[in-house]
């Protein structure tokens, strides 16, 4: 570990933080699964992570970026404490992001009853880290003793790419073609992770399907992580959802060349099958 990494780690694990974490040592003894998100920025991961964090048996941090700490050689227990601390802090802020609140009323965000699943919502960031260094996946598997499950949230690529263009293109200094390239580079990384992890530990969740069938989608997602979705939990989660997806492609000027390029790329990935510029 470099000197800079050591300093960063020491700054994270302050005496105050260590004193707080000691009260949670027994909390992690019932853990069964470790949950990671993978995919693209602006795809709906924040919503799904918040819904899972509301479950009484799950803690899902908001964009801790676990692979960043894996690179710094953090141990499993340290990562678990950082995840829990992140979830608690985000819950105190009412999980507000981009003027939208992801706070699920009456449920368990930032706390738990019996902790069975812990993880991190950092879909686009996870893909970015693995694109730069795919061996981090093996290091993650060596660091975490629980089986690792991946959630892949998907939006219509035209909407997802449009949102990236609207919100991130200036910061990234890329045009629409650059946003298209960024998106499908992450698709390639998703496939690589899927091949290494196995389909039984990989859940593809279509954002549009979840909004149209929220209780079914949440039951299946919880079942994937080995947990039950009780009626009150489902009802409270559904109460914060949009009724339909936001068609952001209409806010961007798509030319025929760009539309056709995305159409061609969609055909390369089975998890994007059925999406088009015309449909939702």
- Could you read off the pLDDT of 228-253 as tens digits, one per residue? 999 999 999 999 998 878 889 999 99
Q: Is the pLDDT of residue 47 over 50?
A: yes
Average pLDDT over residues 133-151: 97
Q: What is the pTM of this model?
A: 0.89
Separation between Cα atoms, residue 231 and residue 124, nearest integer Å: 31
Residue 147 has pLDDT above 90, yes or no: yes
Band of residue 124 on the pLDDT scale cut at 50, 70, 90? confident
Question: Which one has a higher pLDDT value, 280 or 30?
Answer: 30
The whole-angstrom separation of Cα 28 and Cα 34 is: 11
Per-residue pLDDT at 16 exceeds 60: no
* pLDDT band (50, 70, 90) for residue 280: low
Residue 96 clears pLDDT 80, i.e. is over it: no
Range 189-193 contact pairs with CB under 8 angstroms and sequence separation of 24 or more:
189/38, 189/127, 189/130, 189/131, 189/134, 190/38, 190/39, 190/127, 190/152, 190/271, 191/269, 192/130, 192/134, 193/38, 193/130, 193/137, 193/150
> Is the distance from CB of 110 to CB of 91 less than 8 angstroms?
yes
**pLDDT at residue number 279:** 81
pLDDT at residue 21 in the model: 56
Length of the chain: 280
| Neighbour-count burial of 7, counting CB atoms closer than 10 A to its CB (0-12 exposed, 13-18 middle, 19+ buried) | exposed
The predicted structure's pLDDT at residue 92: 81
Residue 19 has pLDDT above 70, yes or no: no
Q: What average pLDDT does the chain have?
A: 89
Task: Name the β-bridge partners of 34.
Answer: 118, 148
Q: Which two tokens stand for residue 18?
A: 């260590």
Nearest to 163 by CA among 23, 56, 39, 26: 39
What number is the average pLDDT over the span 53-64? 95
- For 73-95, write each residue's pLDDT tens digit: 999 999 999 999 999 998 887 66
Give the per-residue pLDDT at 10: 44
Residue 59 has pLDDT above 60, yes or no: yes
Proportion of the chain above pLDDT 70, given as a percent: 88
Q: Which of 36-40, 55-59, 241-245, 259-263 has the lowest mean pLDDT?
A: 241-245
């Amino acid at each position: 570990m470099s000197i800079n990494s050591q300093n960063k780690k020491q700054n994270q694990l302050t005496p105050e933080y260590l004193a707080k974490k000691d009260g949670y040592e027994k909390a992690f003894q019932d853990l069964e699964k470790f949950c990671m998100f993978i995919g693209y920025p602006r795809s709906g991961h924040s919503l799904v992570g918040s819904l899972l964090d509301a479950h009484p048996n799950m803690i899902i941090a908001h964009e801790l970026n676990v692979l960043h700490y894996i690179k710094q050689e953090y141990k499993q227990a340290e990562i678990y404490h950082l995840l829990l601390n992140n979830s608690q802090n985000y819950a105190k802020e009412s999980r507000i992001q981009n003027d939208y609140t992801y706070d699920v009323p009456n449920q368990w965000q930032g706390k738990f009853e019996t902790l069975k699943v812990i993880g991190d919502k950092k879909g686009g960031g996870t893909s970015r880290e693995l694109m730069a260094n795919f061996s981090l996946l093996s290091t993650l598997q060596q660091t975490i003793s629980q089986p690792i499950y991946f959630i892949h949230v998907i939006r219509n690529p035209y909407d997802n790419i449009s949102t990236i263009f609207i919100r991130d293109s200036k910061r990234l200094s890329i045009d629409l073609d650059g946003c298209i390239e960024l998106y499908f580079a992450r698709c390639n990384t998703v496939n690589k992770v899927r091949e290494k992890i196995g389909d039984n530990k990989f859940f593809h969740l279509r954002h549009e399907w979840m909004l149209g069938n929220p209780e079914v989608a949440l039951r299946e997602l919880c079942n994937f992580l080995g947990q039950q979705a009780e009626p009150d939990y489902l009802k409270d989660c559904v109460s914060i959802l949009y009724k339909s997806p936001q068609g952001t492609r209409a806010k961007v000027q798509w030319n025929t060349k760009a539309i056709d390029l995305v159409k061609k790329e969609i055909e390369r990935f089975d998890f994007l099958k059925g999406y088009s510029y015309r449909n939702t």
